[in-house]
Structure 1
Amino acid sequence: MARVVELAYYPVKGCAGSAVREGVLTPAGLAHDRSFMVVGEQGVYRTQRRDPRLALIVPTIVDGGLGLTLEAPGHEPVAIPVDTTGPRRDVDLFGAAFLGIDQGEVAADWLSTVLAAPSRLVRVPPEHRRVTDGRTPGTSGYADSCAVHLLSLSSLDLLNAKLAERGAAPMPMDRFRPNIVVGGWDEPHTEDRARRLTLGTAELGYAKLAIRCAVTVVDQRTGERDGPEPLRSLAAYRRAREGGVAFGAKFAVLRPGTMSVGDELAVGAWGGTEL
């Protein structure tokens, strides 16, 4: 029986996540997931691809979303009142133009110091109307693409077996930054074929495979790159038709609701693999 074994959301794109026992699934994914983003002076998003030290920043949503705290090793924590009404500024996410609400000088100064580069923090505005692609369209905040990233334990077990064959160390789940981790699927990559999922009171629709990038070579505990794994091993058996390597799957929200660790996951429709 497939069940949810981990839930996590990532308040600030590229920064550390928050593990939770239960969560509210909104049309844009788990509540507060990727609702903030760090940008450079020109409004271009920062990512662990270029700024791996983002992994060391631990954001925490407080007061039901009215506040945000930021912590990082060697730096004093900072508390930020969340602005949801201020002036909008242009931001760039993968070359697409969106808007963000700037969160002020305190956040900007702190992030610029931690990352050693001029940075600002923006929040998704209430009128954000992003449409994501894939087999099932949906919406999301500042996530790379779709609202929900799901990965199974059996998929990670297979990857770690492949790594062991190469004499490489096993990878922890946090390298892949999933929102939902599923246990109980004996066959690796079962998530590739699940087209409609029900868990808790929520329902998800399959959008596409998760194509992996260089973020997976960043150690989430040290904020340093230690590649070429896992990309090298994934390239040997998980090459996707459209290019790149696939690991996990992306889903859009068909029905918002609540979910908890331990919830049974029911598959309402299956499809074929897209590899």
Structure 2
Amino acid sequence: MARIARLTYYPVKGCAGTSVPVAEVGPAGLVHDRVFQVVAPDGDFRSQRRYPLLAAVRPRVLDGRLTLSAPGVEDLVLDISRDGPRHPASTFSWHGDGVHQGTEAAEWFSDLLGLPSVLVGVAPDHERVTSGETPGTAAFADGHALLLASESSLDDLNARIFERGGEPVPMDRFRPNVILSGWPEPHREDDVRVMSAGTAKFGYAKQCVRCTVPMVDQETGAKAGPEPIRTLAGYRRHPDGGVVFGMKAAVLRPGQVAVGDEVIVHSWAGPSPSTAAAEPPLMATASRPAESV
């Protein structure tokens, strides 16, 4: 039996997340997840791929305000603009407009990153259709409403890293929304096609092909590679290129989920293409870091 072990939303795309015991699920995923993003003057999104320091930014959403904290700079507290002047915004698979969050936020991020930047929020008329086996929608996430990963997948990965003489990595390197516990087999989440937890229901979209972000230390905002990408490349290559870890999902039914909720799988698929020929899982020879549970 699988259960939800952790729930995390990331208010500002590319910045730190907030873990909660209970979360509301809307059509675009966990409420408050990736509802803001930092963009260039032309709308091109800024991410940890080029600006790893974003990982050290701690956003907090409370009572209609957004608080931004980062090492070495003063906190900024903003009244969230739900609507107002628009500014170009984009992700990998979407281009449109967001709501400009004001000059103070723009200056705060511009000073932090050392180049002109603007903070935008999801507009009330935001429209986006996501791809994959189950279509859906999303806010400013790279491609889909939710990212799910299991503790057993991380345990197996860390055992392989440890065997190569490396240091285990915490789950936050992968920035999932939902961490699942209870499945003994690693990457079992890849085979889920329809699942429910709490009062919400989710459908499989696709496996998550990883970029360089998992090589960024999420506490310090510093690059800390080559793990875990180096080890994943040895056994989790996707047929179309890249390495995979975690499953992306669409929301089939909004609702509420909580840590401890049982995960009910309504339908499964066979072994996924990238794992069908993979070597068997290793026994966990290294303990999982505290941050990953």
Structure 1 residue 50 corresponds to structure 2 residue 50? yes
Give CA deviations for 1:169-213 in whole Å, capped at 9, x if unaligned: 001000000000000000000000010111000000000001111
Preserved CA contact (<8 Å) 1:68 1:82: yes
Moved over 4 A (4+): none
For 1:31, give the aligned amino acid: V
Preserved CA contact (<8 Å) 1:164 1:170: yes
Question: What is the 5 A alignment of 1:51-200?
Answer: 51-63=51-63, 66-94=64-92, 96-200=94-198
Structure 1 residue 39 corresponds to structure 2 residue 35? no
Preserved CA contact (<8 Å) 1:69 1:77: yes
Partner residue in 1 for 2:215? 217
Q: In the aligned structure 2, how far is the partner of 1:116 from the partner of 1:157?
A: 38
* Displacement after TM superposition at 1:26 (Å): 0.3
Q: In the aligned structure 1, how far is the partner of 2:205 from the partner of 2:80?
A: 31
Partner residue in 1 for 2:15? 15
* Displacement after TM superposition at 1:94 (Å): 2.1
Unaligned 5+ segments in structure 2 are: 275-293
Give CA deviations for 1:42-101 in whole Å, capped at 9, x if unaligned: 2110000000000010000010xx210100011111101111121222223226421111
Q: In the aligned structure 2, how far is the partner of 1:186 from the partner of 1:96?
A: 37
Taking only aligned residues, the RMSD between alpha carbons, in angstroms, comes to 0.9
* Displacement after TM superposition at 1:165 (Å): 1.0
**3-state SS in 1 of match to 2:153:** helix
Partner residue in 1 for 2:289? none
For 1:6, give the aligned amino acid: R
Give the structure-1-normalised TM-score.
0.98
Partner residue in 2 for 1:2? 2
For 2:23, give the aligned amino acid: G
For 1:198, give the aligned amino acid: S
Q: In the aligned structure 1, how far is the partner of 2:87 from the partner of 2:73?
A: 28
Q: In the aligned structure 1, how far is the partner of 2:257 from the partner of 2:83?
A: 30
* Displacement after TM superposition at 1:118 (Å): 1.3
**3-state SS in 1 of match to 2:4:** strand
Q: In the aligned structure 2, how far is the partner of 1:208 from the partner of 1:174?
A: 20
Q: In the aligned structure 2, how far is the partner of 1:223 from the partner of 1:138?
A: 31
Q: In the aligned structure 2, how far is the partner of 1:260 from the partner of 1:93?
A: 29
**3-state SS in 2 of match to 1:164:** helix
Q: How many residue pairs end up in the alignment?
A: 273
Partner residue in 1 for 2:273? 274
Q: In the aligned structure 1, how far is the partner of 2:194 from the partner of 2:104?
A: 43
* Displacement after TM superposition at 1:243 (Å): 1.2
1:205 pairs with one of 191, 197, 203? 203
Preserved CA contact (<8 Å) 1:192 1:274: no
Preserved CA contact (<8 Å) 2:93 2:143: no
Preserved CA contact (<8 Å) 1:16 1:58: yes
Identical-pair percentage? 53
Q: In the aligned structure 2, how far is the partner of 1:274 from the partner of 1:210?
A: 13
For 2:98, give the aligned amino acid: G
Preserved CA contact (<8 Å) 2:146 2:178: yes
Q: In the aligned structure 1, how far is the partner of 2:70 from the partner of 2:87?
A: 26
Give the structure-2-normalised TM-score.
0.92
Q: In the aligned structure 2, how far is the partner of 1:92 from the partner of 1:190?
A: 32
For 1:274, give the aligned amino acid: P
Unaligned 5+ segments in structure 1 are: none
